[in-house]
Amino acid sequence: MLRILFEDRAVLLEKDSELYGIVADLHIGFEIDLKGRGIRLPLQTDKISSQLLNLVDKYGIRKLILLGDLKHSILGYERREAEDVRRLLEQLCQLVEEVYLIPGNHDGNIEEILYKLKVKVYSSRGLRLRDGELSVGLFHGHAWPSLRVLSSEVLVIGHIHPTVEFRDRMGLRYVEPAWIRVRIDRNRLAYSMCKHLKIDPGEDPILSLKVSQGIELRTRWVLVMPAFNPFLSGLVINNTAKMSKMSPILSAIGRDLEKSEIYLHDGTYLGSPKLLSKLSEV
């Protein structure tokens, strides 16, 4: 059963009696980037690592999936950044049976950092797992997943670091990390995928995908995770226009985003982005 750990910013998935933990967007080394911009923030890697290690221990996670953006630098990496990533992974490998990485757009040259570490790196096009009768597709969200992953009933992504913006009566602004759950219009998703693959969608894009690519689209909903790193800024999702531009899959489902369900990191249900956009006060 897929279980959302709202406050822990993680997802649990049970497959063949083994418990998988899923987290996204650690962005190890983000403080180094801030320092280069003139913003001095004490190193937070130890805090982030401690939170992740505690999560693994708390739930007895045996296999850990890192859903992209393990590190912060996009193409290369800083020496300290690489050292911190390796130290964290060495600790994780002692606690869990396996660590998987599905690369995000910030994970360029990550294989160099992972040299000789027991970390399995998948394609950025994602990984598909089955939790009982439920198929779950996992990918970072910055690029299209594979067709096999896309055909999963549930898609889980990170990438956009969703947050909700509030303003109090004094006009002060603050943001809170959020979870997004979006029900899918399969026809709309199939149409977008046909266009991406340069296939004629015809009158029935789901059938066109099945005939031309041999996949049956069963997607029911998409879950967007908040960043595991609590110190990151994020995309304010009160307005869905910006959200759809950040990810091909979110762009593909289009108007469905306006009806998505938004939850705070403590599990509080807030409603849809359309409703949130009308809020001017807490």
Check: CB of residue 168 under 8 Å from CB of residue 149: no
User: What pLDDT is recorded for position 279?
Assistant: 57
Burial class from Cβ neighbours inside 10 Å (0-12, 13-18, 19+) for residue 113 reads buried
Structure-token pair, residue 233: 């800024």
Q: Would you call 147 helix, strand, or coil by DSSP? A: helix
List, run by run, the mean pLDDT of 10-residue segments along the chain (282 residues): 94 90 92 65 80 95 96 82 92 94 93 90 95 90 95 96 83 86 93 93 93 92 95 81 84 85 92 70 45
Are 105 and 60 in contact, with CB atoms under 8 Å apart?
no
Domains in the chain: ranges and CATH: 3-184+219-276 (3.60.21)
pLDDT at residue number 37: 64
The whole-number pLDDT of residue 6 equals 96
Taking the alpha carbons of 112, 114, 118, 124 in that order, is the dihedral positive or negative? negative
Q: What is the pTM of this model?
A: 0.92
CA-nearest of 18, 21, 97 to 54 is: 21
pLDDT the model gives residue 281: 44
**Beta bridge partner(s), residue 263:** 179, 269
At residue 81, the pLDDT reads 86
Q: Which of 17, 16, 20, 27 is nearest to 3 (CA)?
A: 20
